[in-house]
Chains A and B, each alone.
Chain A
């Protein structure tokens, strides 16, 4: 795929991009690089706080439910589905970019529509997971009393179990580190906001494709730029998935 450049070609002599890309695409890359540092800072601060605690909740214990399966213990199942949805929508996005390279308007429309469907499906999954965590109450021993608390930025029911203490047939825990909810909702929320804005951008690109704007322009580079953003969202999820659910 790579283009052969003649030896001694003067990239820096002016009048052209020394990186052989348009200004818009280059700036999209630099924006994404700066966003990488934003997400990196969030994830590293999460890791630092987690390292500073003697106890941290086990993700296989916190995220073990699947919609429609009640209290069945299914660790990693739902987040696997979310990961699969995002990888799939990344693939449909590349296919849209590829269709754009071939000036195939119908192809771009089809694959952009599927990418939007994937993004909305992911957002739906995240909405369910948040609702489940925020509304799901668990018995916790606080100041000698058993209280029912849910996972929020102010409360964490996922501390170590109190040996031998049961309440309504459920194990009673001590409160876990408060920072857990803040980091989880903050980082997955920031990522979810990126997914949401990505869906809006993709929707605008789909409408512009349907209106024939890119066909008149003679190229589909805007689809490529939107695609870079969308793949970045998938890329961030790889690391959110790693830091919150796997390790």
Chain B
């Protein structure tokens, strides 16, 4: 007879039933592996697109955006299944997940700022020492500043 673990703490009202098999773990392993393979194939696609000097920038951006979404999917599976957050009660999940929404603003604001900074430098400070590269052809100076 297999014995089960005791409840870890008197604070816990409803102990989780331990998983009877490791099927779910291996399923998530295959999902993570396949997503990583797809990400790598997109990475190689970008590599070959870059070989053409007149490559389509929007196509590269579309591939990069898809890779970002796939990485978020990987994060979801790791947190939800491997870290068992999906098995916790809803209030607990929300105290972890809701603060992370701040990242939406962080990413939007800081990337926008970086882009505006580049445009300002290109427009006004052409001789700054850290400005090692001339701005590429066709980029409109002064956008977003």
A interface residue numbers (CB < 8 A to B)? 1-3, 5, 9, 11, 16-26, 29-30, 33, 36-37, 40-41, 44-45, 47-55, 58, 60, 75-76, 80, 83-84, 87, 90-91, 93-95, 98, 100-104, 159-160, 174-178, 218-221, 224, 227-228, 231-232, 234-235, 238-239, 241-242, 245-247
- The residues of A that contact B54 with a CB separation of less than 8 Å are none
Closest Cβ–Cβ distance, residue A115 to chain B (whole Å): 12
How far does the alpha carbon of A227 sit from the alpha carbon of B78 in the complex, in Å? 12
Tell me whether A60 and B50 are in contact in the complex, defined as CB-CB below 8 angstroms, given that A48-B114, A219-B6, A219-B7 are known contacts. yes
Tell me whether A5 and B14 are in contact in the complex, defined as CB-CB below 8 angstroms, given that A51-B115, A247-B64 are known contacts. yes
- The residues of B that contact A3 with a CB separation of less than 8 Å are 14-17
A sample of 5 inter-chain contacts (CB < 8 A) reads A21-B92, A45-B110, A54-B118, A80-B36, A102-B5
Interface size on B, residues (CB 8 A): 76
Q: Are B12 and A54 neighbours in the complex by a CB distance under 8 Å?
A: no
Q: Are B89 and A238 neighbours in the complex by a CB distance under 8 Å?
A: no
The reply to whether the CB of B59 lies closer than 8 angstroms to some CB of chain A is no
The reply to whether the CB of B130 lies closer than 8 angstroms to some CB of chain A is yes
Q: Are A11 and B118 neighbours in the complex by a CB distance under 8 Å?
A: no
B39 nearest CB neighbor, chain A only: A246
Most buried by A among B19, B82, B133: B82
- The residues of B that contact A98 with a CB separation of less than 8 Å are 18-19, 22, 25
Q: Are B22 and A95 neighbours in the complex by a CB distance under 8 Å?
A: yes
Closest Cβ–Cβ distance, residue A11 to chain B (whole Å): 7
Give 3 nearest A-B pairs by CB, closest first: A51-B114, A101-B18, A22-B9
A179 nearest CB neighbor, chain B only: B130
How far does the alpha carbon of A88 sit from the alpha carbon of B132 in the complex, in Å? 42
Q: Are B14 and A50 neighbours in the complex by a CB distance under 8 Å?
A: no
A87 nearest CB neighbor, chain B only: B32
B79 nearest CB neighbor, chain A only: A235
A80 nearest CB neighbor, chain B only: B40
Contact partner of B11 among A2, A22, A220, CB < 8 A?
A22
Most buried by B among A41, A91, A101, A247: A247
How far does the alpha carbon of A3 sit from the alpha carbon of B42 in the complex, in Å? 40
Tell me whether A49 and B40 are in contact in the complex, defined as CB-CB below 8 angstroms, given that A1-B19, A1-B87, A174-B132 are known contacts. no
Contact partner of B106 among A21, A40, A238, CB < 8 A?
A40
- The residues of A that contact B67 with a CB separation of less than 8 Å are 242, 246-247
- The residues of B that contact A176 with a CB separation of less than 8 Å are 132
Interface string of B98-110 (1 = CB under 8 A from A): 0110110011001
Tell me whether A55 and B132 are in contact in the complex, defined as CB-CB below 8 angstroms, given that A102-B18, A231-B82 are known contacts. yes
Question: Which residues of B (57-111) have their CB < 8 Å from a CB of A?
Answer: 64, 67-68, 71, 74-75, 78-79, 81-85, 87-89, 91-92, 95-96, 99-100, 102-103, 106-107, 110-111
- The residues of A that contact B50 with a CB separation of less than 8 Å are 58, 60
Q: Are B88 and A228 neighbours in the complex by a CB distance under 8 Å?
A: no
